[in-house]
């Protein structure tokens, strides 16, 4: 684990909570507001997973099966939540994961997330399935990490690398676990599709949620019909269409040969997201990859895929000098500390930050980041550590939770 340098604490005035956000005490508190305000199709897309939601549940359960072993009588007044990743310092070891269609959560939702992260000195990864051009996110949101879905086609990969590089992004995150569309039955049942089909059900549900319809959807349409902007080097289909299909080619043909091609043609940092097997971690290390991101896509792809946390110790051993990132099921500061203790260099959270943008826009996401940072700082004191680099497997014990 890297030893993270301490940073001065922010003055209390800088951390004062706006009155309209005082009711949000933890990340889970934002979801209830999002459920009320979003149309059923949109909320279902964000919250749902594949088939039985087994992997979605397993992600949370994997953290619940771990206990923390604190040390006492340790002077922790100098503790710091500062974290460093690829020689860049952040105020906390938690980043905002890439999330598709964020611009349907709040007006210009992609920019909301990026600006909130920048304001809190946090890391945000721009999504390939965003409705905001990646150039706009880089210019107005300060995003420097871009997540890519790429086909097994060298010409199209090369064109996308040129576009991402020209926009000023420093890190590409290749998502490798979406070889084919997942079986998301919840989307079919709610009537959700990508692109959205203009059906009576969609318009009726929008009418039942006027705050979202007026403040997000119609306000977005007033700027022009949004498109899938970043799935390829050229503009994709419109978000609202009766017949268009979202298509970026044959992702099931993407393989390690294409990773080698990317490594040869991309001079920035390259991270592979969606890895779970230690064997794939070893292949990534052999390919000269800068980091591996353990993820089962939030349970949204292969149902019954193992929880990333369960594979973290093995992945750490195989990774060597590569950075090891992780997501899936993280909701508390204690979850973050568990992942760091088992070898993660950085932790990512998705849905709760999206729900925070629904609840209160940029201020909501900033508040969510502050809540996590405050939890980590408080938990560090009770655990008996001053820096994140002090965490190790010695702070972890495995146990089976008692039956209710």
Q: List the one residue out of 273, 276, 309, 308 whose CA is nearest residue 289.
A: 273
Name the token pair of 79.
């503790």
Tokens, residue 212? 């979202």
Annotated catalytic residues are 297
Quote the CA–CA distance of 282 and 373 in Å, as a whole number: 32
**Cα 226 off chain centre by:** 22
First to last CA, the chain: 36
Question: Distance between CA atoms of 58 and 53, rounded to whole angstroms?
Answer: 9
The 10 Å CB-count burial string (b at 16+, else e) for 64-80 is: eebeeeeeeeeeeeebb
Q: Is the peptide bond before 195 cis (omega within 30 degrees of 0)?
A: yes
Dihedral sign for Cα atoms in the order 289, 292, 293, 297: positive
- Judged by DSSP in three states, 187 sits in helix
Task: Tally helices (H) and strands (E) across the chain.
Answer: 15, 12
**Residue 134: its H or E element:** helix 134-136
CA–CA dist 159, 69 (Å, integer): 50
Paired tokens of 33: 């507001």
CB 347 within 8 A of CB 295: no
| 371's tokens | 């809540």
Q: Give the SS3 label for residue 223.
A: coil
Q: Return d(Cα 381, Cα 386) in angstroms, integer.
A: 7
CB 39 within 8 A of CB 208: yes
Strand, helix or coil for residue 352: helix
Q: Which residues pair with 347 in a beta bridge?
A: 94, 326
């Amino acid at each position: 684990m890297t030893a993270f340098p301490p940073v001065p604490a922010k003055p209390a005035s800088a951390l004062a909570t706006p009155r309209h956000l005082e009711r949000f005490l933890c990340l889970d508190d934002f979801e209830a507001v999002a459920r009320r305000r979003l149309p059923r199709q949109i909320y279902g897309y964000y919250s749902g997973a594949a088939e039985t939601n087994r992997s979605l549940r397993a992600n949370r359960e994997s953290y619940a099966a771990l206990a923390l072993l604190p040390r006492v009588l340790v002077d922790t007044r100098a503790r710091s939540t500062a974290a460093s990743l690829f020689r860049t310092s952040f105020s906390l070891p938690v980043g905002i994961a890439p999330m598709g269609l964020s611009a349907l959560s709040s007006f210009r939702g992609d920019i909301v997330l990026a600006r909130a992260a920048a304001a809190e000195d946090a890391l945000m990864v721009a999504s390939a399935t965003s409705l905001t051009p990646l150039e706009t996110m880089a210019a107005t949101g300060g995003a420097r990490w871009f997540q890519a879905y790429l086909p097994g086609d060298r010409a199209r990969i090369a064109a996308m690398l040129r576009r991402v590089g020209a926009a000023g992004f420093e890190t590409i995150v290749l998502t490798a676990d979406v070889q084919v569309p997942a079986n998301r039955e919840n989307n079919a049942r709610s009537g959700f599709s990508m692109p959205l089909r203009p059906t009576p059900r969609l318009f009726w549900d929008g009418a039942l949620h006027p705050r979202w319809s007026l403040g997000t959807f119609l306000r977005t349409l007033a700027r022009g019909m949004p498109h899938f902007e970043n799935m390829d080097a050229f503009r994709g289909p419109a978000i609202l269409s009766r017949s268009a299909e979202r298509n970026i080619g044959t992702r099931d043909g993407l393989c390690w040969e294409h990773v080698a091609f990317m490594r040869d043609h991309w001079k920035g940092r390259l991270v592979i997201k969606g890895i779970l097997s230690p064997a794939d971690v070893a292949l990534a290390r052999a390919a000269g990859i800068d980091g591996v991101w353990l993820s089962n896509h939030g349970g949204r792809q292969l149902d019954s895929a193992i929880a990333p946390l369960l594979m973290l110790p093995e992945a750490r051993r195989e990774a060597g000098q590569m950075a090891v990132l992780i997501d899936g099921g993280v909701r508390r500061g204690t979850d973050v500390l568990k992942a760091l203790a088992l070898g993660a260099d950085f932790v990512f959270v998705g849905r709760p930050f999206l729900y925070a943008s629904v609840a209160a826009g940029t201020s909501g996401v900033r508040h969510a980041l502050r809540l996590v940072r405050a939890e980590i700082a408080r938990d560090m004191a009770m655990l008996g550590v001053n820096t994140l680099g002090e965490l190790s497997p010695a702070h972890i014990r495995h146990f089976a939770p008692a039956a209710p």
